[in-house]
């Protein structure tokens, strides 16, 4: 049976988003809608199963903009604020569909989320808290409503982060280094999504040069860059410099495999 997979980029910005509060640089002042970036998140649909990767602070806005009123699960890459702080807005989906939301996360990410959203996990819950339950993941493939997802572990500086492979699509964000063993899980992907923060080197993110070198090594049919800061440059200017088959993602971009 062939897989039907598509991805919508709900957000492609870094932790501050673009424009950045108080910044008057050319990117933040740009009139190009592709230079307006909410915090990084994606909606992957695999044989009809809808999975959101990360619920950042812009989660509510992203769901409304994309007219999404139902998802089957949330997959978390790591516990930084720009990737988890929209979790409370899962409530609207709880109420509409009368279901708890499964959250797929590693043990350390689960622990962090439980700490931040402690009110959702107390024995006696306040009425109206988000109704969620964790499905703990490790280095083994896991299933979301019958669809197999392969976790890919990497490092965000010294912090462990998890990427995900859905058939021929791999999504990796907030990556700085990745072992050869984990990189083998990515090889053969037709489409790779990878973070590219800025031009200059960064201690915990791939910069543009790093990302392009990794894409060249993996040789996918297509690659898309995400988790982009205003320091990378304008969408149009940077796009003109990219090699064939590599594109800057932008908010609202939809890709079908």
Q: Where do we find the tokens 């590693």?
A: 106
Residue 126 has pLDDT above 90, yes or no: no
Mean pLDDT in residue range 26-42: 98
Q: Report the chain's mean pLDDT, rounded to a whole number.
A: 97
- Note if the pTM is more than 0.95: yes
Q: What is the mean pLDDT of residues 35-43?
A: 98
CB-based contacts of 153, cutoff 8 Å, min separation 6:
139, 160, 161, 162, 163, 178, 179, 182
Average pLDDT of span 203-225: 98
pLDDT at 249: 98
Q: CA 215, CA 154: separation in Å to the nearest integer?
A: 15
Domains and their CATH numbers in the chain: 5-249 (3.60.15.10)
Asked if residues 34 and 54 have their Cβ atoms less than 8 Å apart, the reply is no
pLDDT value for 100: 96
């Amino acid at each position: 049976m062939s897989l039907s997979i598509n991805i919508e980029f709900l957000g492609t910005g870094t932790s501050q988003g673009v424009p950045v509060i108080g910044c008057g640089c050319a990117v933040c002042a740009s009139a190009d809608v592709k230079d307006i970036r909410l915090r990084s998140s994606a909606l992957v649909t695999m044989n009809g199963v809808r999975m959101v990767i990360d619920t950042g602070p812009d989660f509510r806005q992203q769901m409304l903009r994309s007219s999404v009123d139902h998802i089957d699960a949330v997959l978390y890459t790591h516990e930084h604020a720009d990737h988890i702080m929209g979790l409370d807005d899962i409530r609207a989906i709880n109420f509409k569909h009368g279901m708890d939301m499964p959250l797929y996360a590693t043990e350390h990410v689960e622990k962090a989320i439980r700490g931040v959203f402690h009110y959702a996990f107390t024995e006696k819950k306040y009425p109206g808290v988000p109704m969620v339950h964790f499905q703990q993941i490790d280095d083994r493939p896991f299933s979301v409503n019958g669809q197999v997802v392969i976790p890919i572990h990497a490092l965000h500086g010294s912090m462990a982060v998890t990427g995900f492979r859905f058939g021929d699509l791999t999504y990796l964000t907030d990556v700085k280094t990745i072992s050869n063993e984990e990189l083998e899980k990515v090889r053969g992907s037709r489409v790779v999504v990878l973070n590219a923060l800025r031009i200059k080197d960064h201690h915990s993110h791939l910069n543009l040069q790093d990302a392009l070198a990794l894409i060249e090594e993996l040789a996918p049919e297509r690659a898309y860059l995400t988790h982009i800061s205003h320091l990378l440059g304008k969408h149009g200017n940077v796009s003109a410099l990219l090699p064939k088959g590599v594109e800057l993602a932008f908010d609202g971009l939809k890709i079908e495999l």
